Amino acid sequence: MEKTTIFALSASRGLAEEICQELDLPLGNISVNHFADKEILVTPMEAVRGKHVYLVQSTNNPVNDNLMELMIAIDSLKRASAKSITAIIPYFGYARQDRKAAPRQPITAKLVASLIERAGADRVVTIDLHAAQIQGFFDIPVDDIAANNLIGTYFKHSIKGKDTQYVVVSPDHGGAVRARKLAEYLHAPMAIIDKRRPKPNVAVAMNLIGDVAGKEAIIIDDMVDTGGTISSGVQMLKDHGATAVNVACSHAILSGPAIERLRNCGLKEFVCTNTIDQSSHLDEFPEMKIISVAPLMARLIRAVEYKTSLSAALKSAYGAD
């Protein structure tokens, strides 16, 4: 892999360093400057001519700054004659704007896809897109990697040898498929919380479909933003007799009052991946357990570089039976 270079941008340096450790590669040297007027300049500090370059950057808060960093970096690499440019975007911002939910609304996920493609990316890698159809917004290859089995493996190891009965819970109807996959992986039953969303970032749990009485619950979602859905869901499950409630997600956005809500709702564990850097939250949120997606990304890069089966490479990364 002597012609492979991995760069980290501002939002994902820790994850990129872990990926490089997995691959036994040095992290590429790239300069990212934010000027006083908020303009951004990204400059690779080493030659990339003829190289396969991987940019690691989640587009979480500040979404627009991180997105612009990514596109400017792609443009700089394209103009520096990189042979190929792969944008690894563990958390894909604007993914919730994937359709027109009301008249005159934009489809911003499509706009972002077009911008990344037009900037010069040859391939995009994501983890658990909020809507799988976003892959179709690109006219270049997109690999959307599922973190569900990483979460499943974590819980399988944590419950091994225990007599506790578990139930996997989807916080809404839209996540039922995700919850069913985890339930099958853990050989556990599942339940669904019926909720309504009167406005963005506000959700109200209404009814529970399924039986959680006397069982330890695992709420699984793709992302947790303000924590309103989850905190009300935890309370509902306890009201219905759940002995304890765990929460798991791929993307811990944790905006505004999220951490305070999660700490106060009485959950047992909050399990997430490091698609979004959580290092600043560990001290204030001891219930948080972080699973690294670096092994998945490293195996993906290796499979792409050696032109081997991606599905086989990822299966080995899950550590599943």
Q: What is the structure's pLDDT at 293? A: 96
Q: What is the mean pLDDT of the chain?
A: 93
% the chain with pLDDT above 90: 83
State the burial class of residue 63 (Cβ atoms within 10 Å of its Cβ: 0-12, 13-18, 19+). middle
Cα separation, 125 vs 138, whole angstroms: 11
pLDDT in tens, 158-177: 887 787 899 999 998 889 99
pLDDT in tens, 10-31: 999 999 999 999 999 999 999 9
All structural domains of the chain = 4-147+294-318 (3.40.50.2020), 148-291 (3.40.50.2020)
Mean pLDDT confidence for 302-306: 94
Question: At residue 319, does pLDDT exceed 70?
Answer: no
Q: Which residues contact 116 (CB under 8 A, 6 or more apart)?
A: 70, 71, 74, 87, 89, 124, 138
The pLDDT-based confidence of 318 (bands split at 50, 70, 90) is low
Q: How far is CA 140 from CA 70, 135, 162, 252, 300, in A?
A: 17, 9, 46, 28, 17
The one catalytic residue in 51, 195, 215, 238 is 195
Question: At residue 152, does pLDDT exceed 50?
Answer: yes
pLDDT in tens, 237-290: 999 999 999 999 999 999 999 999 999 999 999 999 999 999 888 889 999 999
Query: Tokens at residue 195, please?
Result: 């909720």
pLDDT in tens, 175-216: 999 999 999 999 999 999 986 665 665 555 568 999 999 999
Q: What is the structure's pLDDT at 321? A: 46
Say what the pTM is: 0.93
Q: Which residues contact 179 (CB under 8 A, 6 or more apart)?
A: 168, 169, 170, 190, 192, 220
% the chain with pLDDT above 70: 94
Q: What is the structure's pLDDT at 202? A: 58
195 is catalytic: yes
The pLDDT-based confidence of 320 (bands split at 50, 70, 90) is very low
Mean pLDDT confidence for 215-240: 93
Q: What is the structure's pLDDT at 200? A: 62
The pLDDT-based confidence of 79 (bands split at 50, 70, 90) is very high
Q: What is the structure's pLDDT at 162? A: 80
Cα separation, 5 vs 29, whole angstroms: 9
Query: Tokens at residue 279, please?
Result: 């290092």
